[in-house]
């Protein structure tokens, strides 16, 4: 059984290596040691080429990393429990959406900038609102 799992992991890693350039995989390996890449895809965002890498970190949590083709990390998104949001973000969300209840949250890190995206239901529509670390509203999707 261990041989089969090892073979599947090798095939999986090889498949990602074919679609994910070495600078991208090297940058992910350096930033997230002992992580496992589960998906790597090329995409265009704001008119520029980049790669979206989904991975499972060593602690078992998942992250999504956006990188340039040369391996520069643009943004890291990590799901977090709603009760782990900073107090300023929770307060700002409650003030802006007094009747809404958060259904999920992500911490987004872009360089030194940290923001939080909160998912919630608004009637029959799912929406997301982004706030800075100190509770400033950024946008709604």
81-140 is classed in which CATH architecture? Roll (3.10)
- Report helix, strand or coil for 21: coil
pLDDT tens-digit series, residues 119-141: 999 878 899 999 999 999 999 99
Report the alpha-carbon distance of residue 68 to residue 72 in Å, rounded. Answer: 5
Third-level CATH fold of 2-72: SHC Adaptor Protein (3.30.505)
pLDDT tens-digit series, residues 54-94: 999 999 999 999 999 999 999 999 999 999 999 999 999 99
What is the structure's pLDDT at 16? 46
Output the pTM of the full model.
Answer: 0.78
CB 63 within 8 A of CB 37: no
Report the 10 Å Cβ neighbour count for 90: 19
Min mean pLDDT across 16-25, 57-66, 103-112 is at 16-25
Nearest CA-CA partner of 92 in 127, 141, 134: 134
- Report helix, strand or coil for 55: strand
Residue ranges of domains in the chain? 2-72, 81-140
């Amino acid at each position: 059984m261990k041989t089969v799992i090892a073979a599947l992991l090798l095939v999986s890693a090889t498949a990602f290596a074919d679609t994910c350039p070495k600078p991208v995989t090297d940058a992910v390996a350096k930033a997230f040691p002992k992580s496992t890449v589960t998906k790597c895809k090329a995409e265009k965002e704001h008119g520029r080429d980049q790669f979206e890498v989904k991975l499972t970190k060593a602690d078992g949590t998942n992250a999504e990393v956006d990188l340039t083709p040369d391996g520069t990390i643009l943004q890291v998104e990590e799901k977090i429990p709603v009760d782990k949001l900073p107090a300023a973000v929770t307060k700002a969300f409650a003030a802006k959406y007094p009747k809404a209840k958060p259904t999920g949250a992500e911490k987004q890190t872009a360089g030194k900038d940290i923001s939080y995206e909160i998912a919630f239901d608004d009637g029959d529509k799912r929406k997301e609102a982004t706030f800075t670390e100190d509770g400033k509203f950024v946008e709604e999707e």
